[in-house]
A and B are shown apart, each in its own frame.
Chain A
């Protein structure tokens, strides 16, 4: 399909492990956003890329969270030394350009044991 693709769909990790979540945006989309959605809540902004440049990382909750988009296409969100409070759905969204609606992937459901 031509939508935003995220992998894995589900990830279970033990506390203290590192995890990496992948996002394949819609081809040609310049803007890429990561959001975190806790159970029963609306998504909350984590970080924003315009092409390969990370222009806003104000929503990253701690320095354990790191995101990259080295070639301006696929993005990876990495969480180091995971904690139980990191358990959430991580949503990726892309938009064609500034001002266009954001299109979301199915998300990665992360559970930290």
Chain B
């Protein structure tokens, strides 16, 4: 069975600083996808970044980058130059590439960006 572990319930960062949110995963599949979503207090899940298990380069999307270490089964999210609007819950998720491709989520990390 697939499992996602996010060990940081909360993180604090000052505006303009970089922050890393941790994510480790467990799967017996060789082919899978890893995602990060942002959930503001409004409740919507906003897709941030995707990494495929066979991608050799770390994914980047603007200020977001994914530090993918396959051997360690980790997929940490790095947010550079934090902004006040980055304050939200962040969820790491895994998708099986076989079957119907449901997402399995971690418990989330609440990020608070201070001025």
Q: Can you give 25 A-B contacts (C-beta < 8 A)?
A: A33-B102, A33-B103, A42-B4, A42-B91, A42-B107, A42-B108, A43-B91, A45-B102, A55-B100, A56-B99, A56-B100, A59-B102, A93-B103, A98-B101, A99-B97, A101-B35, A101-B50, A102-B47, A102-B103, A104-B45, A104-B46, A105-B44, A106-B43, A107-B43, A109-B43
Please measure, in the bound complex, the distance between the C-alpha atom of A14 and the C-alpha atom of B62, giving whole angstroms.
46
Q: Which residue of A lies closest to B49 (CB)?
A: A101
Q: Find B105's partner among A43, A48, A59, A103 (CB 8 Å cutoff).
A: A43
Which of chain B's residues have a CB closer than 8 A to the CB of A99? Answer: 97, 101
Is A18 positioned at the interface, with any CB of B under 8 Å from its CB? no
Which of chain B's residues have a CB closer than 8 A to the CB of A56? Answer: 99-100, 102
Chain A: minimal CB distance from B22 (Å): 14
For B10-46 the 0/1 string (1 means CB < 8 A from A) is 0000000000000000000000000101000011111
Is B88 positioned at the interface, with any CB of A under 8 Å from its CB? no
Could you tell me which B residues sit within 8 Å of A by CB distance? 4, 35, 37, 42-47, 50, 91, 93, 97, 99-108
Please measure, in the bound complex, the distance between the C-alpha atom of A98 and the C-alpha atom of B97, giving whole angstroms.
9
Total interface residues on A, CB under 8 Å, equals: 27
Please measure, in the bound complex, the distance between the C-alpha atom of A62 and the C-alpha atom of B39, giving whole angstroms.
27
Please measure, in the bound complex, the distance between the C-alpha atom of A44 and the C-alpha atom of B101, giving whole angstroms.
13
Is A89 positioned at the interface, with any CB of B under 8 Å from its CB? yes
Please measure, in the bound complex, the distance between the C-alpha atom of A85 and the C-alpha atom of B106, giving whole angstroms.
20
Which of chain B's residues have a CB closer than 8 A to the CB of A33? Answer: 102-103
Chain B: minimal CB distance from A87 (Å): 14
Which of chain A's residues have a CB closer than 8 A to the CB of B93? Answer: 42
Please measure, in the bound complex, the distance between the C-alpha atom of A41 and the C-alpha atom of B93, giving whole angstroms.
13
Which of chain A's residues have a CB closer than 8 A to the CB of B106? Answer: 42
Please measure, in the bound complex, the distance between the C-alpha atom of A109 and the C-alpha atom of B104, giving whole angstroms.
20
